[in-house]
Structure 1
Amino acid sequence: MTPKTSRRGPSADGRRGGSARVLTLRRIVALVLVVLALVLIFQNTEETEIRLLIRVVTMPLWGALLGMGVIGALIGALLVARRRR
């Protein structure tokens, strides 16, 4: 049997608890926003026309919403990566 260790004191890296917290406020907010975005996407399934520069494309609205969400996430990731430098 392995001895049980106390998780109350600070660990070697200085954090209390010894392991990373699974549910932080930031992760909970991100999860709620993802769920809200998915609800918005999957409740808008009708066809829509979208103008891409000159060409008009007909596609499901959920596809356009999902595409814009992905583009927004990529832009956000790029901005966070630039800020960390």
Structure 2
Amino acid sequence: MSPKSSTGGSQNPSGRGGIGGLMTPGRVAVAVIAILTLVFIFENTRSTKIRLLIPEVTMPLWMALLGTGLIGALCGAFFLNRRR
């Protein structure tokens, strides 16, 4: 028998499937950081003045923080995809 056929077709050597494969320590850490970030953003609900190049706008701070976070996530995803 070849080594490929002797594994019995199991892709996961530990025998765990389903949720066990989804809940890795790295993913749990990212989920906790994302939840804490969202709590921080939505706790800061005051309006603040923000200068966007030339105009000065007044907007809730949570919108500015969320927008900045989304821009950062998009930039991170872009550079991660270019690296692969």
Shorter chain as denominator, the TM-score bin is 0.7 to 0.9
C-alpha distance in 2 between matches for 1:76 and 1:64: 18
2:62 counterpart residue number: 62
Aligned-partner residue type, residue 15 of structure 1:
N
> Displacement, 1:24?
0.6
Instruction: Pick closer, same or farther for the CA change 1:24–1:43 going to 2, 3 Å.
Output: same
Question: Normalized against structure 1, the TM-score is what?
Answer: 0.79
Instruction: Summarize the alignment of residues 42-81 of structure 1 with structure 2, pairs less than 5 Å apart.
Output: 42-81=42-81
Partner deviation per Cα, 1:35-78 (whole Å, 9 max, x = no partner): 11011111100000110000111000000000001001001100
Q: Mark the runs of 5 or more structure 2 residues left unpaired by the alignment.
A: 1-6
Distance in 2 (alpha carbons) for counterparts of 1:11 and 1:58: 62
Q: Relative contact order (alpha carbons < 8 A, sep ≥ 6): 1 or 2 greater?
A: 2
Contact residue 48 and residue 60 of structure 1 kept, 8 A: yes
Give the TM-score normalised by structure 2: 0.79
| Identical columns (%) | 49
Q: CA deviation at 1:22?
A: 1.6
**Offset, 1:33:** 0.9
User: Runs of 5+ in structure 1 lacking a partner?
Assistant: 1-9
Q: Contact 1:11/1:18 (CA < 8 Å) preserved in 2?
A: no
- Match in the other structure for 2:26: 26
